[in-house]
């Protein structure tokens, strides 16, 4: 089917008690100077949805056995079987931090609104808790030596040993809400709401810092030759996408029209993809030039790549799959807005499985194929 001015809008919805299938092509999403053409060919099936005790705002974690771990704002950490039934449910206080799993697959790490960083076995037994000064919303990251690096809204980055003891802490001038990224040389890169992007040696001493003057609440992206990060807007200026060399020197920036709180990711074609608070998805080339942008009607969370598609969730209740040229392959509506970045669980040659949370307190399992 070709796309033209008189393209027909087609929606087919098949629903049952346990599954909902949606095939959508909406030409209104292709607008602006980077207008794209294409034909939707993916069908989305809602396999199930699991009701949690609170809003699911963090990214689901998928373990090696296919079980899913989620946190909720009312404080529960929940492990769910791949069929949508509960394995365990434990109360910790609000969990907005996306959980991570140890490299041996035996321990789950996450932060809590009660100021603690927790280590819990995959059987649901608490191994240890480390107390910080304020709530922890940043996702923990497992380093290459099995230490755990996680920021706190108290302004510190904490690096913990696997037994829960402190390896080092590093103090910034603002909240640390985004995850760290480890470079090939073992150094750690992360941003702070004080407007600085920091690079630390393994021992926690500062290697360099780049001052952007804008709050940084996202995780830096490490590419072959660049470090890319996003910033919030200020009264004077919009949010930005910034690229640096590995030594912290400036390369380029790209202005969006609103704050950018999502992480930048790399697309299958090597472009930089960012979801904006302005309701647009941006694809930026490695040289900083805009490749395409796509309005989707609501603030966009951190994207993921699944079966060659870029998949995003939005504050407008949508989960959207997009190809590398900016064409929408599928769109599925959730029960309420989502602040949960989607997780790609499995990939086939022409199919994928996505888990995503929403503010209606559900974890959704979505499959798609074409």
In a domain, 337, yes or no: yes
The answer as to whether 86 is a domain residue is: no
Q: Do the domain assignments include residue 356? A: yes
Q: For position 338, what pLDDT does the model report?
A: 97
Distances (CA, A) of 123 to 6, 21, 66, 90, 163: 56, 34, 14, 11, 17
361 within a domain of the structure (yes/no):
yes
Cross-sheet strand order for the sheet of 107-111: 100-101, 107-111, 116-121, 126-131
Tell me, yes or no, if the pTM score tops 0.85.
yes
Would you say residue 308 lies in a domain? Answer: no
Q: Which two tokens stand for residue 339?
A: 């602040």
Residues 164, 115, 103: CA angle, nearest 5 degrees: 40
SS (H, E, C) 110-121: EECCCCEEEEEE
What pLDDT is attached to residue 41? Answer: 64
**Residue-range definition of the domain harbouring residue 37:** 20-50+315-370
Residue 128 forms part of a structural domain? no
Q: Give me the pLDDT at residue 8, please.
A: 28
CB atoms closer than 10 angstroms to residue 213: 11
Q: What is the mean pLDDT of each run of 10 residues along the chain (370 residues)?
A: 32 34 37 43 90 95 97 94 96 93 97 97 97 98 98 98 98 98 97 98 98 95 97 87 98 94 96 96 97 94 94 96 92 96 87 96 94
DSSP string, 65-111: TS-EEEE-TTSEEEEE-TTS-EEEEEE-S---SPPEE-TTS-EEEEE
**Residue 163 within any structural domain of the chain:** no
Burial of 105 (0-12, 13-18, 19+ CB in 10 A): exposed
Domain count, the chain: 1
Tokens of 46: 């809602």
* pLDDT at residue 88, as a whole number: 95
What secondary structure letter does DSSP report for 360? Answer: T
Q: Cα 10 to the chain's mean position, in Å?
A: 30
Rounded CA-CA distance 214/232 in Å is: 6
Is 223 a domain residue? Answer: no
Output the pLDDT for position 210: 98
Distance of CA 299 to the CA centre of its chain: 13
């Amino acid at each position: 089917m070709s796309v033209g001015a008189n393209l027909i809008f087609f929606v087919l919805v098949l629903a049952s008690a346990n599954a909902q299938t949606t095939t959508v092509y909406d030409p209104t999403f292709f607008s602006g100077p980077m207008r794209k053409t294409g034909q939707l060919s993916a069908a989305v099936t809602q396999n199930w949805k699991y009701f949690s005790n609170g809003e699911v705002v963090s990214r689901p974690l998928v373990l090696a056995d296919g079980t899913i771990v989620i946190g909720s704002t009312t404080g529960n950490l929940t492990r769910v079987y791949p069929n949508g039934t509960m394995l365990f449910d434990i109360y910790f206080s609000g969990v907005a931090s996306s959980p991570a799993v140890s490299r041996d697959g035996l321990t789950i790490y996450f932060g809590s609104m009660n100021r603690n960083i927790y280590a819990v076995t995959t059987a649901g037994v608490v191994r240890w808790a480390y107390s910080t000064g304020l709530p922890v919303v940043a996702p923990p990251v497992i380093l290459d030596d099995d230490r755990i690096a996680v920021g706190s809204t108290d302004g510190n980055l904490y690096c913990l040993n696997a037994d829960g003891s402190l390896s080092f802490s590093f103090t910034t001038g603002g909240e640390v809400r985004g995850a760290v990224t480890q470079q090939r040389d073992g150094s750690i890169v992360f941003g702070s709401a004080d407007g600085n992007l920091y690079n630390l040696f393994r021992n926690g001493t500062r290697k360099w810092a780049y001052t952007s003057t804008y709050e940084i609440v996202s995780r830096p992206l490490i590419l072959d030759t660049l470090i890319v990060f996003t910033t919030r807007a200020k009264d004077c200026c919009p949010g930005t996408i910034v690229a640096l060399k590995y030594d912290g020197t400036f390369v380029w920036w790209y202005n969006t029209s609103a704050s950018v709180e999502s992480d930048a990711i790399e697309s299958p074609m090597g472009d930089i993809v960012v979801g904006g608070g302005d309701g647009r998805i941006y694809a930026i080339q490695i040289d900083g030039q805009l490749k395409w942008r796509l309005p989707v009607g609501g603030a966009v969370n951190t994207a993921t790549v699944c079966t060659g598609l870029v998949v995003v969730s939005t504050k407008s209740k949508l989960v959207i799959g997009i190809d590398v040229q900016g064409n929408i392959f599928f769109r599925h509506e959730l029960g309420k807005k989502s602040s949960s970045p989607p997780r790609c669980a499995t990939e086939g040659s022409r199919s994928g499985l996505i888990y995503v949370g929403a503010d209606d307190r559900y974890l959704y399992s979505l499959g798609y194929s074409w």
